[in-house]
Amino acid sequence: MVSLSALAWRSGIWAPAYRLGAPWRIPGRSNDGILPMFSISGCGHGGTTLLATILGAHPSTHLFDRETKWFLGLGPLAVLRENKARAAMAAKNFSDETRVIIEKTPRHVFRIPYIRRIMPGTRFVVMVRDPRDLVASIAKRISDWRGAMVRVRLDFLAINRVKNDKDVLVIRYEDLVRNFEPTMSKISEHLGIEFDQRMANHTEFAPTWFNADTVEETDGAGKKAHVSRRAWQVQQPLYDGSGRYRTDLTPEQIREVEDAFSPLVADFYPEVVRHEPV
């Protein structure tokens, strides 16, 4: 049986409820004085932290080096978090060189229509990754194979709802790490900024993510080890971390993931449909 925590993991409430909750807004609120926002979301463990770090190295951006969770609330909580977002994005907080705000919260993929309504002009980059690697990574972290399957399924359901929207660009983790400059040029064009070579040297500017107490390579099992590993990873030179599922999953588990996710990822990973390695 799938645990309730696995179903509700996105917010402390059931993730699908995000699509049902009407935005609570204060009438007449203006976006004057608020910097434009680039929102990075998508699959958890899918490279959102890496992409945010790379974009944060651009001289015209300001990166919030944590998951802001600004738009996850429903009802009155949505108002409180919207107020927090507006205060953080006020142009008066930044130098004249800062043109855009970079925020990353994987769960915001559930809230893209809502963010679009309250922050018009926001551009979205949605990260995806081979579901076999995602399930392997999340299952190791939370020690819950079925829970990992549910989480990845919820992510891809949300991604498929917005994948064709004009303000949304879907990027594969594998393309980012294997074809860096063409992929980052595509992302830069979508966001309306020029490609800057400093993004290729992002490790020089990498922050310590999530206020991690320790920054070191770990096995990623458990919350503390996972945070430490993620903070460590973005400070390393770019490398291809795909294919871990081959050693972390059994052949039976690999086939189960492929069978379960083939319809959801056909547009992104036809290899999964054909049962071939990426």
Mean pLDDT for the stretch of residues 83-99? 94
Whose tokens are 């978090």? That residue is: 81
Contact in structure between 176 and 188 (CB atoms under 8 Å): no
Tokens of 92: 């008066």
pLDDT at 2 over 50: no
* Highest-confidence segment of 12-16, 27-31, 121-125, 226-230: 121-125
- Tell me the pLDDT band of 209, cut-offs 50, 70 and 90: confident
Tokens of 62: 């300001």
Mean pLDDT for the stretch of residues 233-258? 91
Mean pLDDT for the stretch of residues 63-90? 89
Domain assignment present for 128:
yes
- Residue 143 burial by CB count (10 A; 0-12/13-18/19+): exposed, middle or buried? exposed
Domain assignment present for 183:
yes
Q: Which residues contact 101 (CB under 8 A, 6 or more apart)?
A: 35, 36, 37, 38, 61, 62, 64, 88, 89
CA distance 240 to 236: 11
Host domain of residue 174:
4-269
Domain assignment present for 278:
no
Domain assignment present for 276:
no
What sign for the dihedral angle of Cα 87, 83, 51, 231? positive
pLDDT of residue 74: 78
Domain assignment present for 144:
yes
Mean pLDDT for the stretch of residues 146-169? 95
What average pLDDT does the structure give for the chain? 86
What is the count of structural domains for the chain?
A: 1
pLDDT at 263 over 70: yes
pLDDT at 117 over 70: yes
Helix, strand, coil percentages for the chain (3-state, nearest 5): 50, 10, 40
Mean pLDDT for the stretch of residues 110-129? 94
Residue 56 maps to which CATH number? 3.40.50.300
pLDDT at 22 over 90: no
pLDDT at 105 over 80: yes
